[in-house]
């Protein structure tokens, strides 16, 4: 049944008005005053503070509880998250938790099934029949978030618009500085952070790969990660939402994970939750197999080979982790031994690690062969004898 929506005037005016205001004021300002180093620096500073407050704060800390953070960090996220003008953390998380529990369904507030533009920003621009705020009691219990929720617009205005202006004023010592800071660190930055976030709901559910699950529309897109502080690995995120990383490999571009991780060195964040490599790897194998097997007849022999292969991979990876831990512990104790004795022990440790790696390589090779035998099977079926 087609639902009729009435427009939410406040949100729509803001989402349409702000880009126009940003564009007009940037042109006016540039013609009048030109541009110095100050404005771009304020822009980048506020882009980072507000962007990370949404991805590392609103998303990975508050919505998914993937780690813990000390109160100064939570306050930082509350202040600069408000400055991103995406509602209070409590309301944002309520919507987002529903997005995860009901992905692609009618109850998903920004389901891409209603269209790319609906998921991108349409859902914010229509009037909700009634505002549903649920499953966020844990967040109301945090006095910082409860305070932010009560004063969201005032905090947003002060931190998102007035503060960049004030910094510009201090940097340049004139009204021009205030205008420059407000236009670049306020108006323009609000628009850029808005659409970067919106792309996660639209583009990350439309374009990209699905290495971990095909159960919903979420996709992995490394390109999107460059624009969104690492949130482009969205298929991984929907599959393993308890992980504080979205790009789980060290080389995956995920500044939010680096930010959370560096903060943990100083004790500002702690209890960073990681999904074990064995779980991630076996999930990836099973999904690749399932995708290949879709619509095909899978022999029980091939199914058994896959099960064996996944088991071998899991065993190999968990043993490798154990062996590495043992080696690390041995390294710490080596001072007590003679050089010769340590050398012998070191070699033994390294040999055991090599053995594990070999077993993992064998499992990878076996997996490749399983996938290949799919292709061969298909060819024999489709080629005339
Ligand atoms: Zn999420
Ligand atoms: Zn999503």
Residue ranges per structural domain of the chain = 9-270, 277-382
- Ligand 1 center to 1 CA (angstroms): 28
Calculate how far, in angstroms, residue 63's C-alpha sits from the geometric centre of ligand 1. Answer: 7
> Residue 14: is its pLDDT beyond 60?
yes
pLDDT, residue 245, reads 98
Residue 112 CA, ligand 2 centroid: distance in Å? 9
Residues 6+ away with beta carbon under 8 Å from 230:
55, 245, 246, 247, 252, 253, 254, 255, 256, 257
Residue 13, SS3? helix
User: What digits encode the pLDDT tens for the residues 197-237?
Assistant: 999 999 999 999 999 999 999 999 999 999 999 999 999 99
Tokens for 377, please give them: 């099977």
Average of per-residue pLDDT across 151-163 = 98
Ligand nearest to the CA of 200: 2
Q: Is residue 1's pLDDT more than 60? A: no
- Confidence class for position 246, pLDDT limits 50, 70, 90: very high
Q: Averaged over 27-45, what is the pLDDT?
A: 96
Which among 211, 217, 83 has a CA at the least distance from the CA of 151?
83
Under the banding of pLDDT at 50, 70 and 90, the label for residue 379 is: low
Cα angle at 86 between 80 and 92, to 5 degrees?
A: 100
In this predicted model, what pLDDT tens digit does every residue of 268-307 receive, in sequence order? 999 999 999 999 999 999 999 999 888 788 888 888 999 9
Looking at residue 378, its pLDDT comes to 64
Cβ atoms of 104 and 217 within 8 Å: the answer is yes
Nearest ligand, CA 203: 2
Q: How far is the CA of 317 from the centre of ligand 2 (A)?
A: 29
Helix (H) or strand (E) holding 122: none
pLDDT recorded at residue 325: 94
CA distance 256 to 231: 8
pLDDT exceeds 80 at position 323: yes
Q: Name the DSSP class of 174.
A: S
Strand, helix or coil at 126? strand
Answer yes or no: are the C-beta atoms of 232 and 254 closer than 8 Å. no
pLDDT tens-place string over residues 60-88: 999 999 999 999 999 999 999 999 999 99
pLDDT at position 294: 85
Which pLDDT value is given to residue 128? 84
How much is the average pLDDT of 332-350?
89
Q: What is the DSSP letter of 7?
A: B
Spacing, Cα 120 to ligand 1 middle (Å): 15
What is the structure's pLDDT at 51? 98
Is 381's pLDDT higher than 60?
no
Q: Quick one: pLDDT band at residue 130, thresholds 50, 70, 90?
A: confident
Ligand 1 centre to CA of 4 (Å) is 28
Confidence of residue 3 (pLDDT cuts 50, 70, 90): low
- Give the closest ligand to the alpha carbon of residue 216: 2
364 alpha carbon – ligand 2 mean position (Å): 30
Report the pLDDT value the prediction gives residue 295, as an integer from 0 to 100: 79
Highest mean pLDDT among 230-234, 285-289, 333-337, 371-375: 230-234
Cα-to-centroid distance, 150 and ligand 1 (Å): 24
Question: What pLDDT band is residue 361 in, cutting at 50, 70 and 90?
Answer: very high
324: three-class secondary structure by DSSP: helix
Q: What is the pLDDT of residue 383?
A: 47
What CA–CA distance (Å, rounded) separates 300 from 297? 10
Q: Is the pLDDT reported for residue 384 higher than 50?
A: no
C-alpha to C-alpha distance for 133 and 350, rounded to whole angstroms? 54
**What is the average pLDDT score of the chain?**
94
Distance 177 CA to ligand 1 centre (A): 38
Band the pLDDT of 2: cuts 50, 70, 90: low
Q: What is the DSSP letter of 334?
A: G
The answer, yes or no, to whether residue 385 has pLDDT greater than 60, is no
Per the CB < 8 A criterion, the answer to whether 201 and 226 are in contact is: no
Ligand lying nearest the CA atom of residue 246: 1
> Quick one: pLDDT at residue 334?
84
């Amino acid at each position: 049944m087609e639902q009729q929506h009435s427009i939410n005037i406040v949100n729509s005016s803001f989402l349409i008005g702000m880009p126009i205001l940003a564009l007009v004021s940037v042109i006016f300002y540039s013609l009048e005053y030109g541009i110095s180093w100050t404005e771009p620096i304020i822009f980048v500073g506020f882009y980072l503070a507000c962007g990370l407050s949404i991805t590392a704060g609103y998303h990975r800390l508050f919505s998914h509880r993937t780690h813990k953070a000390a109160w100064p960090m939570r306050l930082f996220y509350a202040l600069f998250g408000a400055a991103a003008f995406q509602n209070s953390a409590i309301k944002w998380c309520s919507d987002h938790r529903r997005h995860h529990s009901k992905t692609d369904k009618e109850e998903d507030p920004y389901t891409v099934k209603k269209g790319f533009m609906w998921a991108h920003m349409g859902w914010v621009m229509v009037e909700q029949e009634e505002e549903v705020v649920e499953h966020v009691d844990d967040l109301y219990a945090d006095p910082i978030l409860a305070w932010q929720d009560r004063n969201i617009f005032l905090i947003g205005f002060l931190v998102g618009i007035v503060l960049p202006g004030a910094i510009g004023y201090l940097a340049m010592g004139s009204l021009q500085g205030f205008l420059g800071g407000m236009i670049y660190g306020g108006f323009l930055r609000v628009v850029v952070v808005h659409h970067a976030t919106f792309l996660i709901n639209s583009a990350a559910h439309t374009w990209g790969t699905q290495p971990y699950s095909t159960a919903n529309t979420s996709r992995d897109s490394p390109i999107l990660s460059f624009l969104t502080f690492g949130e482009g690995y969205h298929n991984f995120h929907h599959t393993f939402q308890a992980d504080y990383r979205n790009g789980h490999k060290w080389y995956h571009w995920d500044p939010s994970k680096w930010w959370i991780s560096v903060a943990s060195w100083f004790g500002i964040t702690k209890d960073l939750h990681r999904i074990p490599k064995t779980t991630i790897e076996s999930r990836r194998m099973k999904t690749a197999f399932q995708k290949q097997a879709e619509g095909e007849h899978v022999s029980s022999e091939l199914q058994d080979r896959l099960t064996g292969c996944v088991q071998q991979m899991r065993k190999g990876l968990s043993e490798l982790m154990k062996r590495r831990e043992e080696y690390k512990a041995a390294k710490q104790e080596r001072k007590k031994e003679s050089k010769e004795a340590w050398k012998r022990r070191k070699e033994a440790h390294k040999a055991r690690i090599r053995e594990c790696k070999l077993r993992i390589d064998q499992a990878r090779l076996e997996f490749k062969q399983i996938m290949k035998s799919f292709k061969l099977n298909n060819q024999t079926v489709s080629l005339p004898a």
